[in-house]
Amino acid sequence: MENKNKELIKKLRDNAELAWSAYGYYDFFTEPFYHMYLLDDNKQAHYIKDIADIMNISYCDVYVADLIFPNREGIKVGTLKGDMTPTQAQRFFEKYDLLDYYPKFDYKHNKQKQGFHACLFQNRESKQYTLAIRGSYDNRDYVKADALNLLIKEQVPRAYYEDMLRFYNQCKAKYPAIIESKSLNIVGHSLGSALAQMLTL
């Protein structure tokens, strides 16, 4: 019984970390963003060397700049919001591979897109896939998804639901093994947990 309880606690912890990691701005690290840099307080640029840096609390509130433009200080395109300890972030990405994420960076407006966010991770050892869905995180989430749709209209934010289905189908096309029995774990936090439950219906 004690072993079962320990295993359950470990599973809950792992799922919590996976849902937590869905908040990462991974488009600042993955290709083709070879020109994305962190700007410190002295406006010195540092290359984003490791995907774990995205969730590392040491870089929380640090600006990310696109230095491919002529402006020497770069164009600020976002801010990191990771809040894992450095060791925790490193261990997480030693355990899981990030296979895909949604949405991708908005090249047209040189900024991150708001709205639905999710990631597809794979456990390196067990090979199990996890679709992790982020909860409310920015003004659009709080106003449009939470206040307007969930509280006032008492309905699911349709755009988020459709984006979730779109991302799931993209993942299914790239990684068809996720539709096999017990191969896909689905987690979410806050708004993400509601969307995760809907996806399982």
CA dist., res. 150 & res. 184, Å (int): 27
Read off the pLDDT of residues 131-170 as tens digits, 9 standing for 90 and up. Answer: 999 987 766 656 565 556 665 666 677 888 899 999 999 9
Q: At what angle do helices 158-174 and 191-200 cross, to 10 degrees?
A: 60
What's this model's pTM, rounded to 2 decimal places?
Answer: 0.86
Antiparallel, parallel or unpaired: β 45-47 and 36-39? antiparallel
Read off the pLDDT of residues 48-105 as tens digits, 9 standing for 90 and up. Answer: 778 999 999 998 988 887 765 545 556 677 888 899 999 999 999 999 999 999 988 7
Q: Which domain holds residue 31?
A: 2-200
Which whole-number Å values give the CA distances from 117 to 23, 132, 137, 189, 201, in the listed order?
8, 9, 9, 11, 20
Q: Could you give the number of structural domains in the chain? A: 1
